[in-house]
Protein backbone atom coordinates (compact mmCIF):
# COMPACT_ATOMS: atom_id res chain seq x y z
CA UNK A 1 0.00 0.00 0.00
CA UNK A 2 1.20 3.53 -0.81
CA UNK A 3 0.62 6.10 1.93
CA UNK A 4 0.54 9.66 0.58
CA UNK A 5 2.09 12.06 3.10
CA UNK A 6 1.23 15.69 2.38
CA UNK A 7 3.57 18.16 4.05
CA UNK A 8 1.83 21.46 4.73
CA UNK A 9 4.17 23.45 6.92
CA UNK A 10 5.28 26.39 4.76
CA UNK A 11 4.11 30.02 4.77
CA UNK A 12 4.82 30.96 1.12
CA UNK A 13 6.12 34.44 1.93
CA UNK A 14 7.24 35.08 -1.67
CA UNK A 15 3.57 35.00 -2.69
CA UNK A 16 2.67 37.76 -0.24
CA UNK A 17 0.30 39.56 0.10
CA UNK A 18 -2.05 36.77 -1.03
CA UNK A 19 -0.14 34.18 1.01
CA UNK A 20 0.21 34.99 4.72
CA UNK A 21 1.39 32.99 7.69
CA UNK A 22 -2.12 32.31 9.04
CA UNK A 23 -3.45 31.46 5.56
CA UNK A 24 -0.50 30.43 3.36
CA UNK A 25 -0.34 29.55 -0.32
CA UNK A 26 -1.08 25.82 0.04
CA UNK A 27 -4.52 26.70 1.42
CA UNK A 28 -5.31 29.11 -1.42
CA UNK A 29 -6.77 28.55 -4.91
CA UNK A 30 -3.84 30.00 -6.85
CA UNK A 31 -3.76 27.80 -9.96
CA UNK A 32 -7.33 26.50 -10.13
CA UNK A 33 -10.57 27.01 -8.25
CA UNK A 34 -9.41 24.55 -5.58
CA UNK A 35 -6.82 25.16 -2.84
CA UNK A 36 -3.40 23.77 -3.68
CA UNK A 37 -3.39 21.30 -0.78
CA UNK A 38 -6.70 19.93 -2.02
CA UNK A 39 -5.32 19.60 -5.55
CA UNK A 40 -2.41 17.62 -4.08
CA UNK A 41 -4.75 15.30 -2.18
CA UNK A 42 -6.94 14.74 -5.24
CA UNK A 43 -3.93 13.62 -7.32
CA UNK A 44 -3.80 10.46 -5.24
CA UNK A 45 -7.55 10.01 -4.72
CA UNK A 46 -9.68 7.40 -6.47
CA UNK A 47 -6.72 5.05 -7.04
CA UNK A 48 -6.66 1.70 -5.26
CA UNK A 49 -2.87 1.87 -4.91
CA UNK A 50 -3.18 4.70 -2.40
CA UNK A 51 -4.37 4.79 1.19
CA UNK A 52 -6.17 7.87 2.47
CA UNK A 53 -3.69 10.73 2.84
CA UNK A 54 -1.67 11.55 5.93
CA UNK A 55 -1.53 15.31 6.48
CA UNK A 56 1.35 16.88 8.42
CA UNK A 57 0.68 20.51 9.32
CA UNK A 58 1.14 23.03 12.08
CA UNK A 59 -1.52 23.64 14.70
CA UNK A 60 -2.63 27.03 13.40
CA UNK A 61 -3.87 25.64 10.07
CA UNK A 62 -5.49 22.45 11.34
CA UNK A 63 -9.13 23.52 11.23
CA UNK A 64 -8.83 25.24 7.84
CA UNK A 65 -7.29 22.09 6.33
CA UNK A 66 -9.88 19.86 8.00
CA UNK A 67 -12.72 21.99 6.61
CA UNK A 68 -11.27 21.98 3.08
CA UNK A 69 -10.84 18.20 3.11
CA UNK A 70 -14.32 17.70 4.58
CA UNK A 71 -15.92 19.80 1.85
CA UNK A 72 -14.12 17.69 -0.78
CA UNK A 73 -15.25 14.42 0.81
CA UNK A 74 -11.70 13.40 1.81
CA UNK A 75 -11.11 11.78 5.20
CA UNK A 76 -7.40 11.63 6.02
CA UNK A 77 -5.90 8.51 7.51
CA UNK A 78 -4.25 10.84 10.01
CA UNK A 79 -3.76 14.56 10.50
CA UNK A 80 -0.48 14.95 12.37
CA UNK A 81 0.15 18.29 14.11
CA UNK A 82 3.68 19.63 14.48
CA UNK A 83 4.08 21.73 17.64
CA UNK A 84 6.75 23.69 15.77
CA UNK A 85 8.30 23.60 12.31
CA UNK A 86 11.49 21.51 12.14
CA UNK A 87 11.78 21.18 8.33
CA UNK A 88 10.92 18.15 6.21
CA UNK A 89 13.11 15.41 7.72
CA UNK A 90 11.44 15.36 11.17
CA UNK A 91 8.01 15.61 9.52
CA UNK A 92 8.78 12.63 7.27
CA UNK A 93 10.26 10.70 10.20
CA UNK A 94 7.10 11.19 12.25
CA UNK A 95 4.91 10.08 9.33
CA UNK A 96 7.14 7.05 8.75
CA UNK A 97 6.95 6.08 12.42
CA UNK A 98 3.17 6.36 12.26
CA UNK A 99 2.99 4.17 9.12
CA UNK A 100 5.48 1.64 10.46
CA UNK A 101 3.27 1.01 13.48
CA UNK A 102 0.52 -0.07 11.06
CA UNK A 103 2.38 -1.42 8.04
CA UNK A 104 6.17 -1.77 8.45
CA UNK A 105 6.77 -2.24 4.73
CA UNK A 106 4.20 0.33 3.68
CA UNK A 107 5.51 2.79 1.09
CA UNK A 108 5.36 6.52 1.83
CA UNK A 109 4.89 9.03 -0.98
CA UNK A 110 6.00 12.37 0.47
CA UNK A 111 4.42 15.33 -1.34
CA UNK A 112 4.73 19.06 -0.68
CA UNK A 113 1.24 20.53 -0.39
CA UNK A 114 1.94 23.54 -2.59
CA UNK A 115 3.21 22.21 -5.93
CA UNK A 116 1.50 22.33 -9.31
CA UNK A 117 1.52 19.30 -11.63
CA UNK A 118 -0.12 19.73 -15.02
CA UNK A 119 0.39 16.20 -16.43
CA UNK A 120 -1.27 13.76 -14.02
CA UNK A 121 -0.73 10.81 -16.34
CA UNK A 122 3.03 11.34 -16.31
CA UNK A 123 2.95 11.86 -12.54
CA UNK A 124 1.11 8.62 -11.87
CA UNK A 125 3.32 6.65 -14.27
CA UNK A 126 6.40 7.93 -12.41
CA UNK A 127 4.82 6.99 -9.09
CA UNK A 128 4.35 3.44 -10.42
CA UNK A 129 8.06 3.22 -11.24
CA UNK A 130 8.99 4.74 -7.91
CA UNK A 131 6.80 2.31 -5.99
CA UNK A 132 8.61 -0.69 -7.47
CA UNK A 133 11.98 0.79 -6.49
CA UNK A 134 10.81 1.79 -3.02
CA UNK A 135 9.35 -1.66 -2.40
CA UNK A 136 12.80 -3.06 -3.18
CA UNK A 137 14.35 -0.84 -0.51
CA UNK A 138 15.42 2.19 -2.53
CA UNK A 139 14.96 5.77 -1.36
CA UNK A 140 13.41 7.37 -4.41
CA UNK A 141 13.34 11.00 -5.46
CA UNK A 142 11.65 12.38 -8.56
CA UNK A 143 13.69 14.58 -10.85
CA UNK A 144 11.84 17.02 -13.07
CA UNK A 145 13.29 17.08 -16.59
CA UNK A 146 14.50 20.70 -16.93
CA UNK A 147 13.04 22.95 -19.61
CA UNK A 148 15.33 25.92 -18.95
CA UNK A 149 18.60 26.75 -17.13
CA UNK A 150 16.76 27.50 -13.89
CA UNK A 151 18.84 28.93 -11.05
CA UNK A 152 16.08 28.74 -8.43
CA UNK A 153 16.10 24.95 -8.04
CA UNK A 154 18.58 22.38 -6.81
CA UNK A 155 19.57 19.65 -9.27
CA UNK A 156 20.05 15.88 -9.16
CA UNK A 157 22.82 14.31 -11.25
CA UNK A 158 21.82 10.93 -12.65
CA UNK A 159 24.21 8.05 -12.10
CA UNK A 160 24.13 4.54 -13.54
CA UNK A 161 20.80 3.29 -14.91
CA UNK A 162 18.82 0.90 -12.72
CA UNK A 163 16.95 -2.17 -13.94
CA UNK A 164 13.28 -1.82 -14.77
CA UNK A 165 13.09 1.27 -16.95
CA UNK A 166 13.56 5.00 -16.60
CA UNK A 167 15.38 5.15 -13.26
CA UNK A 168 18.93 5.86 -12.15
CA UNK A 169 21.13 5.74 -9.13
CA UNK A 170 21.76 9.22 -7.75
CA UNK A 171 25.32 10.34 -8.46
CA UNK A 172 24.99 13.52 -6.42
CA UNK A 173 22.71 16.36 -5.36
CA UNK A 174 23.68 19.84 -6.53
CA UNK A 175 22.90 23.17 -4.84
CA UNK A 176 21.13 25.94 -6.76
CA UNK A 177 23.62 26.89 -9.49
CA UNK A 178 24.49 30.23 -11.06
CA UNK A 179 23.22 30.93 -14.59
CA UNK A 180 26.33 29.70 -16.42
CA UNK A 181 26.42 26.45 -14.44
CA UNK A 182 22.69 25.89 -15.01
CA UNK A 183 23.21 26.33 -18.76
CA UNK A 184 26.04 23.80 -18.69
CA UNK A 185 23.79 21.28 -16.91
CA UNK A 186 21.17 21.68 -19.61
CA UNK A 187 23.73 21.24 -22.40
CA UNK A 188 25.42 18.24 -20.78
CA UNK A 189 22.17 16.44 -19.91
CA UNK A 190 21.63 13.97 -17.09
CA UNK A 191 20.65 16.67 -14.60
CA UNK A 192 17.10 17.05 -13.27
CA UNK A 193 15.44 19.63 -11.04
CA UNK A 194 14.98 18.44 -7.48
CA UNK A 195 11.19 18.53 -6.95
CA UNK A 196 11.29 17.56 -3.27
CA UNK A 197 8.98 14.57 -3.85
CA UNK A 198 10.14 11.30 -2.24
CA UNK A 199 9.10 7.68 -2.01
CA UNK A 200 10.41 5.01 0.37
CA UNK A 201 9.31 2.17 2.61
CA UNK A 202 8.69 3.15 6.22
CA UNK A 203 11.29 0.71 7.52
CA UNK A 204 13.83 1.78 4.87
CA UNK A 205 13.75 5.50 5.62
CA UNK A 206 13.79 4.96 9.37
CA UNK A 207 16.76 2.58 9.05
CA UNK A 208 18.66 5.17 6.99
CA UNK A 209 17.71 7.92 9.44
CA UNK A 210 19.03 5.90 12.36
CA UNK A 211 22.34 5.80 10.48
CA UNK A 212 22.56 9.34 9.10
CA UNK A 213 20.41 11.46 11.46
CA UNK A 214 19.79 9.34 14.57
CA UNK A 215 18.57 12.26 16.69
CA UNK A 216 15.76 12.96 14.23
CA UNK A 217 14.81 9.27 14.00
CA UNK A 218 14.73 8.81 17.77
CA UNK A 219 12.97 12.02 18.76
CA UNK A 220 10.38 11.88 15.96
CA UNK A 221 9.47 8.28 16.86
CA UNK A 222 9.17 9.28 20.50
CA UNK A 223 6.97 12.24 19.52
CA UNK A 224 4.56 9.84 17.82
CA UNK A 225 4.50 7.36 20.72
CA UNK A 226 3.92 10.14 23.24
CA UNK A 227 1.51 11.98 20.97
CA UNK A 228 -2.10 12.45 22.02
CA UNK A 229 -5.36 12.37 20.12
CA UNK A 230 -7.21 15.69 20.02
CA UNK A 231 -10.52 15.47 18.16
CA UNK A 232 -9.50 14.24 14.69
CA UNK A 233 -5.84 15.21 15.11
CA UNK A 234 -2.70 13.51 16.38
CA UNK A 235 -0.67 16.02 18.38
CA UNK A 236 3.01 15.13 18.41
CA UNK A 237 4.67 15.41 21.80
CA UNK A 238 6.06 18.94 22.00
CA UNK A 239 9.26 18.23 23.92
CA UNK A 240 10.22 15.20 21.84
CA UNK A 241 9.55 16.80 18.47
CA UNK A 242 11.21 20.05 19.52
CA UNK A 243 14.38 18.06 20.26
CA UNK A 244 14.64 17.08 16.56
CA UNK A 245 17.36 19.02 14.73
CA UNK A 246 15.82 21.15 11.97
CA UNK A 247 16.86 19.59 8.66
CA UNK A 248 15.51 18.67 5.24
CA UNK A 249 15.16 15.13 3.88
CA UNK A 250 17.76 16.01 1.24
CA UNK A 251 20.48 17.13 3.66
CA UNK A 252 19.69 14.70 6.46
CA UNK A 253 19.41 11.49 4.41
CA UNK A 254 19.35 11.62 0.63
CA UNK A 255 22.80 13.18 0.16
CA UNK A 256 24.39 10.52 2.37
CA UNK A 257 22.61 7.26 1.58
CA UNK A 258 23.91 4.76 -0.95
CA UNK A 259 20.32 3.67 -1.68
CA UNK A 260 19.11 6.85 -3.42
CA UNK A 261 17.43 6.50 -6.82
CA UNK A 262 15.97 9.13 -9.14
CA UNK A 263 13.05 8.75 -11.53
CA UNK A 264 13.11 11.54 -14.15
CA UNK A 265 9.67 12.80 -15.14
CA UNK A 266 8.31 15.54 -17.39
CA UNK A 267 4.98 16.34 -15.71
CA UNK A 268 4.47 20.07 -16.06
CA UNK A 269 5.78 20.70 -12.55
CA UNK A 270 6.18 24.01 -10.71
CA UNK A 271 6.72 24.71 -7.04
CA UNK A 272 4.83 28.03 -7.45
CA UNK A 273 7.63 29.62 -5.48
CA UNK A 274 7.02 33.19 -6.64
CA UNK A 275 4.64 35.42 -8.57
CA UNK A 276 6.79 34.97 -11.68
CA UNK A 277 6.29 31.20 -11.44
CA UNK A 278 2.54 31.75 -11.30
CA UNK A 279 2.80 33.99 -14.37
CA UNK A 280 4.81 31.31 -16.20
CA UNK A 281 2.10 28.64 -15.87
CA UNK A 282 -0.94 30.95 -16.07
CA UNK A 283 -3.36 31.31 -18.97
CA UNK A 284 -2.20 34.40 -20.86
CA UNK A 285 -4.15 36.80 -23.05
CA UNK A 286 -2.87 37.89 -26.48
CA UNK A 287 -0.52 40.38 -24.81
CA UNK A 288 0.99 37.87 -22.41
CA UNK A 289 -0.96 39.00 -19.35
CA UNK A 290 -2.25 36.67 -16.63
CA UNK A 291 -5.30 38.41 -15.17
CA UNK A 292 -7.58 37.26 -12.36
CA UNK A 293 -10.33 38.96 -10.41
CA UNK A 294 -11.94 42.31 -11.17
CA UNK A 295 -9.37 43.90 -13.50
CA UNK A 296 -9.23 45.82 -16.77
CA UNK A 297 -5.91 46.02 -18.61
CA UNK A 298 -5.22 48.47 -21.44
CA UNK A 299 -1.97 48.62 -23.43
CA UNK A 300 -0.50 46.22 -20.88
CA UNK A 301 1.98 43.44 -21.68
CA UNK A 302 3.49 40.46 -19.90
CA UNK A 303 2.02 41.37 -16.53
CA UNK A 304 0.39 39.39 -13.74
CA UNK A 305 -2.62 41.32 -12.43
CA UNK A 306 -4.53 39.80 -9.50
CA UNK A 307 -7.40 41.76 -7.97
CA UNK A 308 -8.94 40.28 -4.83
CA UNK A 309 -10.75 43.48 -3.86
CA UNK A 310 -12.21 46.26 -6.04
CA UNK A 311 -11.51 47.05 -9.68
CA UNK A 312 -7.84 47.17 -10.68
CA UNK A 313 -7.00 48.98 -13.92
CA UNK A 314 -3.66 49.23 -15.76
CA UNK A 315 -2.51 51.36 -18.69
CA UNK A 316 0.79 51.29 -20.55
CA UNK A 317 2.79 49.01 -18.27
CA UNK A 318 4.93 45.95 -18.95
CA UNK A 319 6.53 43.11 -17.02
CA UNK A 320 4.90 43.93 -13.69
CA UNK A 321 3.25 41.95 -10.92
CA UNK A 322 0.26 43.79 -9.45
CA UNK A 323 -1.62 42.16 -6.56
CA UNK A 324 -4.40 43.91 -4.64
CA UNK A 325 -5.85 42.13 -1.61
CA UNK A 326 -7.87 45.05 -0.31
CA UNK A 327 -5.58 45.82 2.62
CA UNK A 328 -2.30 45.55 0.66
CA UNK A 329 -1.32 46.59 -2.86
CA UNK A 330 1.88 45.05 -4.25
CA UNK A 331 3.51 46.43 -7.41
CA UNK A 332 6.78 44.79 -8.43
CA UNK A 333 8.92 44.24 -11.49
CA UNK A 334 8.35 40.66 -12.58
CA UNK A 335 12.07 39.91 -12.45
CA UNK A 336 12.30 41.19 -8.84
CA UNK A 337 9.58 39.12 -7.18
CA UNK A 338 12.15 37.00 -5.33
CA UNK A 339 12.63 40.13 -3.20
CA UNK A 340 9.03 40.13 -1.95
CA UNK A 341 10.28 38.38 1.19
CA UNK A 342 12.33 41.51 2.00
CA UNK A 343 9.09 43.50 2.18
CA UNK A 344 7.50 40.82 4.36
CA UNK A 345 10.46 41.04 6.74
CA UNK A 346 10.12 44.82 6.89
CA UNK A 347 6.39 44.58 7.59
CA UNK A 348 7.10 42.19 10.48
CA UNK A 349 9.95 44.34 11.80
CA UNK A 350 7.66 47.37 11.85
CA UNK A 351 5.27 45.55 14.19
CA UNK A 352 2.50 45.40 11.60
CA UNK A 353 0.22 42.39 11.04
CA UNK A 354 -0.24 42.28 7.26
CA UNK A 355 2.32 39.46 6.97
CA UNK A 356 0.24 37.27 9.29
CA UNK A 357 -3.43 37.61 8.46
CA UNK A 358 -5.81 38.86 5.79
CA UNK A 359 -8.80 41.04 6.53
CA UNK A 360 -10.67 37.73 6.53
CA UNK A 361 -9.41 35.58 9.40
CA UNK A 362 -10.39 31.92 9.57
CA UNK A 363 -11.38 30.12 12.74
CA UNK A 364 -12.55 26.52 13.31
CA UNK A 365 -16.16 27.74 13.45
CA UNK A 366 -15.96 29.85 10.27
CA UNK A 367 -14.37 33.26 9.70
CA UNK A 368 -14.57 36.94 10.52
CA UNK A 369 -13.52 39.94 8.47
CA UNK A 370 -13.16 43.56 9.48
CA UNK A 371 -15.45 45.99 7.67
CA UNK A 372 -14.63 49.21 9.53
CA UNK A 373 -12.42 50.26 12.41
CA UNK A 374 -12.10 53.48 14.41
CA UNK A 375 -10.64 54.72 17.67
CA UNK A 376 -13.22 53.00 19.92
CA UNK A 377 -15.25 50.87 17.50
CA UNK A 378 -14.90 48.04 15.03
CA UNK A 379 -17.44 46.44 12.69
CA UNK A 380 -16.99 42.82 11.59
CA UNK A 381 -18.78 40.26 9.47
CA UNK A 382 -18.89 36.81 11.08
CA UNK A 383 -19.78 33.64 9.18
CA UNK A 384 -20.49 30.56 11.30
CA UNK A 385 -20.57 27.11 9.67
CA UNK A 386 -23.69 24.95 10.12
CA UNK A 387 -23.55 23.18 13.48
CA UNK A 388 -20.55 25.23 14.63
CA UNK A 389 -20.22 27.39 17.74
CA UNK A 390 -17.87 30.02 19.09
CA UNK A 391 -16.39 29.50 22.53
CA UNK A 392 -18.19 30.57 25.70
CA UNK A 393 -16.22 33.75 26.42
CA UNK A 394 -16.14 37.25 27.78
CA UNK A 395 -14.26 40.48 27.10
CA UNK A 396 -12.98 42.82 29.79
CA UNK A 397 -12.62 45.94 27.64
CA UNK A 398 -15.32 45.84 24.97
CA UNK A 399 -19.05 45.35 24.50
CA UNK A 400 -20.62 43.82 21.40
CA UNK A 401 -23.84 44.04 19.42
CA UNK A 402 -24.82 41.18 17.07
CA UNK A 403 -27.25 41.55 14.16
CA UNK A 404 -28.38 38.43 12.27
CA UNK A 405 -28.09 39.06 8.53
CA UNK A 406 -28.77 35.54 7.28
CA UNK A 407 -29.65 32.27 9.01
CA UNK A 408 -30.66 31.48 12.58
CA UNK A 409 -28.47 32.15 15.60
CA UNK A 410 -28.47 30.53 19.01
CA UNK A 411 -27.09 33.11 21.43
CA UNK A 412 -26.12 32.86 25.06
CA UNK A 413 -25.78 36.09 27.08
CA UNK A 414 -25.16 35.57 30.78
CA UNK A 415 -27.69 32.98 31.94
CA UNK A 416 -30.10 33.63 29.02
CA UNK A 417 -30.20 31.55 25.84
CA UNK A 418 -32.45 32.32 22.87
CA UNK A 419 -32.85 32.01 19.10
CA UNK A 420 -32.46 35.05 16.86
CA UNK A 421 -33.95 35.15 13.36
CA UNK A 422 -32.86 37.34 10.46
CA UNK A 423 -32.88 41.10 11.23
CA UNK A 424 -32.99 40.47 14.99
CA UNK A 425 -30.20 41.56 17.31
CA UNK A 426 -28.74 41.21 20.79
CA UNK A 427 -26.45 43.34 22.99
CA UNK A 428 -23.59 41.81 25.02
CA UNK A 429 -22.43 44.11 27.84
CA UNK A 430 -18.76 44.37 28.74
CA UNK A 431 -17.64 41.56 31.05
CA UNK A 432 -20.62 39.29 30.29
CA UNK A 433 -20.18 35.64 29.32
CA UNK A 434 -21.60 34.94 25.88
CA UNK A 435 -21.64 32.45 23.03
CA UNK A 436 -22.82 32.38 19.41
CA UNK A 437 -23.84 29.13 17.69
CA UNK A 438 -25.41 28.09 14.39
CA UNK A 439 -28.10 25.44 15.00
CA UNK A 440 -29.17 25.38 11.34
CA UNK A 441 -27.98 23.62 8.19
CA UNK A 442 -27.03 26.82 6.33
CA UNK A 443 -24.18 29.28 7.05
CA UNK A 444 -25.01 31.98 9.60
CA UNK A 445 -24.00 35.59 8.83
CA UNK A 446 -23.68 38.11 11.65
CA UNK A 447 -22.72 41.76 11.72
CA UNK A 448 -20.81 42.43 14.93
CA UNK A 449 -20.32 45.97 16.24
CA UNK A 450 -17.65 46.25 18.94
CA UNK A 451 -17.18 49.30 21.17
CA UNK A 452 -14.74 49.89 23.97
CA UNK A 453 -11.29 51.07 25.05
CA UNK A 454 -9.47 48.08 23.48
CA UNK A 455 -10.59 45.92 20.55
CA UNK A 456 -7.71 43.44 20.16
CA UNK A 457 -8.31 39.72 19.67
CA UNK A 458 -6.31 38.94 22.81
CA UNK A 459 -9.10 40.40 24.99
CA UNK A 460 -10.85 37.03 25.06
CA UNK A 461 -11.29 34.80 28.10
CA UNK A 462 -12.61 31.36 27.11
CA UNK A 463 -14.57 29.20 29.54
CA UNK A 464 -15.62 26.39 27.22
CA UNK A 465 -14.59 25.52 23.67
CA UNK A 466 -15.69 22.57 21.53
CA UNK A 467 -12.44 22.79 19.50
CA UNK A 468 -10.09 22.25 22.42
CA UNK A 469 -8.56 25.73 22.42
CA UNK A 470 -7.17 27.10 25.66
CA UNK A 471 -9.84 27.88 28.25
CA UNK A 472 -9.82 29.65 31.62
CA UNK A 473 -9.43 27.12 34.42
CA UNK A 474 -12.35 27.04 36.89
CA UNK A 475 -10.05 27.81 39.83
CA UNK A 476 -9.10 31.12 38.22
CA UNK A 477 -12.66 32.36 37.69
* Nearest in space to 15 (alpha carbons), one of 338, 284, 305: 338
Between helices 36-43 and 120-135, what is the axis angle to 10°?
A: 60
**Is residue 44 within a helix (H) or strand (E), and if so which, with residue range?**
none
pTM of the model: 0.89
Name the 3-class secondary structure at 351. Answer: coil
Is the domain spanning 2-270 CATH 3.90.550.10? The answer is yes
In angstroms, the CA 201 to CA 285 distance is 45
Print pLDDT tens along the chain (477 aa): 999 999 998 888 999 999 999 999 999 999 999 999 999 999 999 889 999 999 999 998 999 999 999 999 999 999 999 999 999 999 999 999 999 999 989 999 999 999 999 999 999 999 999 999 999 999 999 999 998 998 889 999 999 999 878 899 999 999 999 999 999 999 999 999 999 999 999 999 999 999 999 999 999 999 999 999 988 999 999 999 999 999 999 999 999 999 999 999 999 999 999 999 999 999 999 999 999 999 999 999 999 999 998 999 999 999 999 999 999 999 999 999 999 999 999 999 999 999 998 888 889 999 999 899 898 999 999 999 999 999 999 999 999 999 999 999 999 999 999 999 999 999 999 999 999 999 999 999 999 999 999 998 889 999 999 888 877 644 333
Distance CA 272, CA 367 (A): 26
DSSP track, 201-260:
EHHHHHHHHHHH-HHHHHHHHHHHHT-EEETTEEEPPHHHHHTSPP--HIIIIITT-S-E
CA distances from 403 to 203, 272, 357, 398, 422 (A): 57, 41, 25, 17, 8
CA 236 to chain centre: 18
Q: Which residues contact 357 (CB under 8 A, 6 or more apart)?
A: 20, 21, 22, 23
Q: Parse the chain into domains and list their residue ranges.
A: 2-270, 276-349, 360-476
What is the CATH topology of the domain spanning 360-476?
A: Jelly Rolls (2.60.120)
How distant, in Å, are the alpha carbons of 238, 421, 440 from that of 333? 42, 50, 48
Pick left, alpha or beta for residue 100 (phi over 0 → left; psi -120 to 50 → alpha; otherwise beta): alpha
The answer to whether the CB of 111 falls within 8 A of the CB of 138 is no
CB atoms within 10 A of CB 451: 15
Amino acid sequence: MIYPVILSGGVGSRLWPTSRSLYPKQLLPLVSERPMLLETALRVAGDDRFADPIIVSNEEHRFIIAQQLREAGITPLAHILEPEGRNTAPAAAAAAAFVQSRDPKGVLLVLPADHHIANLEAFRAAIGQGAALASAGKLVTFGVVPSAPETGYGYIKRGLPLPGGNAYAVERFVEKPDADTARSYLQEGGYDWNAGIFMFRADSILREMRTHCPDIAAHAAEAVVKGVRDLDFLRLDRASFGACPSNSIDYAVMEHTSSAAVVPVDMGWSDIGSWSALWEIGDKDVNGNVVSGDAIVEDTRNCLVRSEAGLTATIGVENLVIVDTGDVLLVAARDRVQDVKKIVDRVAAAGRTEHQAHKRVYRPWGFYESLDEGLRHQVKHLLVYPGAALSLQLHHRRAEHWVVVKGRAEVTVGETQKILEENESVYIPLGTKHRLANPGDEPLSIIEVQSGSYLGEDDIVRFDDVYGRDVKMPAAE
